[in-house]
A and B are shown apart, each in its own frame.
Chain A
Amino acid sequence: MSKLNKTGTVLGLAAVMGVTLSTFALAADIRIGITMRMISENGQKYGQMVMDEFDMINKAGGINGNMIKATLMNDECKSDKGVANAVKLVAQEKVHLLIGSSCSSVTLPIVDVTSKAGVPQLVPHSTNDKITKKGSAWVFRVPVSGRYYAGVNAKYVGENIGKKIAYLCAADAASQNDCEAMQAQMKAQHGVEPAYTAQVQEKEVDFRTHMQKIKNANVDGIMIAALAETMARALIQSYEAGIPASVRRIGSSSASNSPVPKIAGDAAKGVFFAAAYAAADTRPIARMFNEIVKSRYGINSPDHDFSQAYDLVRIAEIALGNADLKLDSASLAADRTAIRDAIAGVKGYQGLASGPISFCAEATPQCRDGNRTAVLIAYSKGGENYKTEVLARVTMPIDFGL
């Protein structure tokens, strides 16, 4: 008796679910969906920057008279949430262009969603090389792929620092990827094995045992591959363990994030890393950008996640301007295809990135890893008012790391 009463309850709830209608715009807007990791202070600012830039475009009259309607969602750097966001943006908001995500582990499954639905996807931050190796015709990567970064670091380290390198690798996607790639490149370019390798948790706090062992191993350099806060802690502990400054500290891609010099303080001095953008860049566009970020978000030396978000908006702006869009209810698929083709047509974009960004039509990593130029940046001063200097700029060959 009661069992069946309860059957009714469930059916009733299913009906309630059916009523939860959400609206979606069908006016002549260009709909853009964004899913990013909005959990840290910086994470939110990256998302905000994208939204603000689209706002500026709208205020300046839109793109060919069409307004941009951007929807920003948080995926918390979790793949299931990212997929849910992507499906929602694609199926419910019916976006023409999807931007996402910050984390490789979220971008990877979203590539399948956009590929199946036929929605162009611009990747703002993820560097995992598998993203473009999946062969989706719809994905375009604005940041430098991890496969290029690895080569840049290994080349510089082998030629300028030494070949005896210890590795501290955290378990998050980007750091693992950076670590593995660097080791492979040291072997490929210089024929050396790691002097010491330590695998640590994503948010590990105690590295002293590892640092002692590294100290005793008498290495030329230490590669610390971890997310920003973790890396900063590891840097401080490397000095506490008594490893001298002459042993160069090599950061993974997240060394560019401002918590590293801020938290690590003096321990950040001399740490260098490959990135897509150097705040110490002296080009006018870079100085203007630094000003914008400082006035809008109160950040002094923007890291490359800011610059990539900015470059991404500019590329989207160019592509949307070139695409022949109808923007009515029947033209969604055609508009999406037109935008994809327009992004593939972006060649030699010169923005904040250290070199030109070019895409092409084939669904290959060569075509979709548009940014091949990395810059080697070193911290010349740590702390709140940290300073950076550019060590070198390296453009990698298009097939590198494949």
Chain B
Amino acid sequence: MNAVASLLEYPSSYIEKLGNIHRILPWIMAFVVLLPLPHILETTLNEYYVYLANRICIFIMLCVGLNIVKGFCGQVTVGHVGLYAIGAVTSALISLHLGWSFWISLPLGVFAAGLAGVIVGLPSVRLEGAYLALATLGLGESVRIMIAVTPFFGSSTGLISIPSPAIGGFVFDTYRSYYYLVMTAALIGIYLSFSILRSATGRAFMAVREDTIAAAVHGINVTKYKLLAFVISALYAGAAGGLFAHMPPGYIHHNNFTIIEMVTLLLMVVLGGIGHIWGGVIGAIIVTIIYDQTLEFYFYQPLLFGLSMVLIVLFMPRGIGGMIDRYLVTKRFMAIQEGKSNGAS
């Protein structure tokens, strides 16, 4: 970990300087760097890796959103996939039945998920910990069951032939073109999570996570911020759902939104580093890649993932992001001590 962190020292200080010129500049650079990725993946590897990149971007959006409510605001939610499903189904239905364009159906899906986020968040006002997890689990599962039993929502057959997004004549119907949509969305998502979490709102979330009474006494409206965190994470989930629904081959089915998916998301966030601003991103990338690389051992995969979850929680509860933080804190502490001893001598 030391080696990795010191390796990153140089480029990051360089990017830091750029960031001072303009806050968005590093993000635009990241965008430019990521632009040729599908081309590189498709020529050096093959289209499947472009597909994986698409999936990773969608997982990143889900995890970044989940990290806001769980990692930063400390609210244990297991209903995130329900919101993801609402975003997906809403956007899919609007474009299938009303024939409206993706550019309208997606925001409407995001909006619907946001509204549902309030409902999923309401129990958090009174409940904490395992009880809150149970309540949100119930809400998330009931969304899935609603979809499973209602023919209009796709029921057992699923929603078929959800149209691909298009701008003018250009249709995003290949993984390569769709990548630009999900990659842009994921980058914007990460950028916004930075904006939110590095502001007074983010600090309020953390204060609520650390101690609700102390937070309230220091002027933070705990209920408001809990709900806000749920709604923000719901908006992320809704956007991810909409993007998933319209991704080729444009098909969604209620079994894409089960508790297994939820556990996978949790694994991603926990591995990446709960409450670490990059945690969701790191986790989404690593878990998706590991999952893909272990596909042939499908029989042992659930075991592998379950065990690793337990081991992570036991031995590195703050995940990879937490380990990096730890390293940086130790370094800072050493610097302070050094400063003191220098001052003394």
Identify the A interface with B (CB < 8 A).
1-14, 16-18, 20-22, 38, 73-74, 76-80, 83-85, 87-88, 90-92, 94, 104-105, 108-113, 116, 128, 130, 134, 171-177, 199, 201-202
Contact = CB atoms under 8 A, between A and B. Distances in A.
Interface of B: 4-5, 7-9, 11-13, 15-16, 19, 26, 30, 33-34, 37, 40-41, 44-49, 51-52, 55, 145, 148-149, 151, 155-158, 160-161, 173-175, 194, 198, 248-253, 255-256, 276-278, 281-282, 285-286, 289, 292-293, 295-296, 298-299, 321, 324-325, 328
Given A10-B282, A17-B285, A112 B8 contact: no
B156 A77 contact: no
Given A91-B46, A113-B249, A173-B158, A13 B255 contact: no
Contacts of A18: 40-41, 44-45
14 contacts: A3-B277, A8-B15, A74-B295, A74-B298, A76-B298, A79-B255, A85-B295, A88-B48, A105-B255, A109-B249, A128-B157, A171-B148, A175-B156, A177-B157
B11 A109 contact: no
Contacts of B250: 109, 112
Nearest to A173: B156
A139 B173 CA distance: 20
A105 B158 contact: yes
A92 B148 contact: no
Given A20-B289, A175-B156, A79 B253 contact: yes
A83 B255 CA distance: 13
B151 to A, nearest CB: 8
Contact of A17 (B26, B282, B289, B325): B289
A111 to B, nearest CB: 8
A111 B251 CA distance: 11
**Mostly helix, strand, loop or mixed at chain B's interface?**
helix
Given A5-B5, A87-B47, A79 B281 contact: no
A134 B8 CA distance: 51
**Mostly helix, strand, loop or mixed at chain A's interface?**
helix
Contacts of A110: 249
Given A20-B293, A91-B48, A7 B325 contact: no
A171 B149 contact: yes
A6 B295 contact: no
B194 to A, nearest CB: 7
Contacts of B33: 11
Contacts of B325: 2
Contacts, number: 168
Contact of B277 (A6, A77, A175, A201): A6
B11 A8 contact: yes
Given A9-B4, A9-B278, A109-B251, A92 B48 contact: yes
A112 B289 contact: no
B156 A112 contact: no
Given A5-B12, A7-B30, A112 B253 contact: no
B256 A78 contact: yes
A79 B158 contact: yes
A80 B8 CA distance: 35
Contacts of A6: 276-278, 282, 321, 324
B289 A1 contact: no
B145 A77 contact: no
Given A2-B324, A78-B255, 8 more contacts: A4-B11, A5-B8, A9-B282, A14-B34, A18-B41, A79-B251, A130-B157, A202-B156
A175 B278 CA distance: 44
A4 B16 contact: yes
A94 B158 CA distance: 28
Contacts of A177: 156-157
B144 to A, nearest CB: 10
B286 A13 contact: yes
A77 B255 contact: yes
Contacts of B19: 4
B156 A84 contact: no
A370 B256 CA distance: 30
B328 A2 contact: yes
Given A87-B47, A202-B148, A5 B156 contact: no
Contacts of B253: 78-79, 105
Contact of B157 (A1, A7, A105): A105
A296 to B, nearest CB: 19
Contacts of B4: 9, 12
B251 A92 contact: no
A105 B19 CA distance: 47
